[in-house]
Amino acid sequence: MNAKNGDAKLEALAKHLGASAADRLDVDAVARRVLAELRQAPVRRRTWIEVHWLRIAAAMVILVGGGLLVQQMIPDTDVPGQHGNHLVADDLGDLTTDQLRDVLDRFDEMVGGTTPLLDSSSDLRGLDEEQLQNVLRSIGGII
Amino acid sequence: MAHPELRTETVDDTGLIAAWQAGDEQAAAELVARHARALARYLAGAGAPDAEVDDLVQETFIRAFRGVGRFRGQCQFRTWLLTIGGNVLKDYGRRAGRRKVLPLDESVQDVTGDPHEHAVATEAEARLSAGLHVLPRLQREVFLLRAQQGLDYEEIAGALGTTPGAARVHYHHAVKRLKEIVG
């Protein structure tokens, strides 16, 4: 068969394909079933608000997830002593002047042998409560 | 449901889609009436078993109506519907776990005319059916949209998300292969 005849023959055959299935189709019945199905599970049309809320929620998920990821990736940047300072500052407020002196004395005993954190000439007895607290805070910063 | 009264042809598909989206069921029935037979021919041509054509047509319309918000007028509604039909058929094939060759339907046969000519035509049609099944899906769909449905390449390209040039190439590959098979 030559090319043109071949093409025409193919197209004629193709046009005939499925003709019987189409003829047998009960179009009204199909329409009824389609409508019945659509009534059972109607198309849920998303409103403008819904669409935007979905976008906002998606953005939040990305932000929170990204934040957590970054937090996990960046190593702990806590400077040694900062955490201790915070605790010292919290605890010092509850101590009396005598208790503060006592803490300093004990601390000096503990570390004084190797690392003289407090000047030996310093007279803790002459310091008031606030000054003692400042000394202790500064020690917290050192260690 | 009462027998659907068909609207006049003055309301185009876009108008019917809009009417259906506004809640007019009759508009959906009209769209089914307009396109169901063409869809059935397309599905049968693409390999849908005869016994399944009704259900596949129904499923295609349901899927189309549910997703009609995605129809942007990139092609005619019918063309878009046919491409959905192709997806429905593919899903059916997956479910069935096999691809059936369209059986030759005795009712297709024209009982008038020369029995010999008729037998030759029937045989050629069967070979075409078998040939379509061995084509890659895109070639098969382009061939059917062009040769069976009479669409131009621009329209086919819009529906299948390709270029008219690519659609033309697919068509020619399909024709070349089918000629070898049909003889």
Shortest alpha-carbon distance between residue A5 and chain B (Å) = 10
Check residue B59 and give its pLDDT: 96
Is residue B157 classed exposed, middle or buried when 0-12, 13-18 and 19+ CB atoms within 10 A define those classes?
buried
Predicted ipTM > 0.90:
no
Which of B70, B42, B165, B49 lies closest to A15 in space, CA to CA? B42
Q: What is the pLDDT of residue A28?
A: 95
User: Tokens standing for A19?
Assistant: 């003709």
Query: Which residues does chain A have within 8 Å of residue B182's beta carbon, measured at their own beta carbons?
Result: 9-10, 13
- The dihedral through the CA atoms of B90, B91, B92, B95 has a sign that is positive
pLDDT digits (tens, 9 = 90+) for B108-156: 334 344 555 556 567 888 889 999 989 999 999 999 999 999 999 999 9
Taking CA atoms, what residue in A is nearest to B123?
Answer: A13
- Which residues neighbour A88 within 8 Å (Cβ) at sequence distance 6 or greater? A136, A137, A139, A140
Per-residue pLDDT tens over the stretch B73-111: 889 999 999 999 999 999 998 888 754 444 434 333 343
Query: How do residues B2-41 score in pLDDT, each as one tens digit?
Result: 444 555 567 899 999 999 999 899 999 999 999 999 999 9
Inter-chain residue contact A21 with B105, CB threshold 8 Å: yes
Identify the segments of chain A with pLDDT beneath 50.
1, 84, 120-121, 143
> Measured between alpha carbons, how far is B162 from B182 in angstroms, rounded to an integer?
28
Cα A129 from Cα A29, distance rounded (Å): 94
Instruction: Estimate to the nearest angstrom the gap between the alpha carbon of B161 and the chain centroid.
Output: 17
Q: Which of A6, A13, A35 sits opposite B25 (nearest CB)?
A: A35
Query: Residue A43: its chain B contacts at CB < 8 A?
Result: 65-66, 68
Nearest-CB residue to B53 (from A7, A21, A38): A21
Q: Are B178 and B133 in contact (CB under 8 A)?
A: no
Question: Residue A70: what pLDDT?
Answer: 84
Do residues A18 and B129 touch, judged by C-beta distance below 8 A? no
Q: In this structure, are residues A125 and A101 in contact, taking their beta carbons and an 8 Å threshold?
A: yes
Taking phi first (over 0 means left), then psi (-120 to 50 degrees means alpha), and beta for anything else, what does residue A70 get?
alpha
Residue type, A34: V
Looking at per-residue pLDDT, the higher value among B170 and B74 belongs to B170
pLDDT tens-digit map of B46-71: 989 989 999 999 999 999 999 988 88
* Chain B: closest CA distance from residue A68 (Å): 36
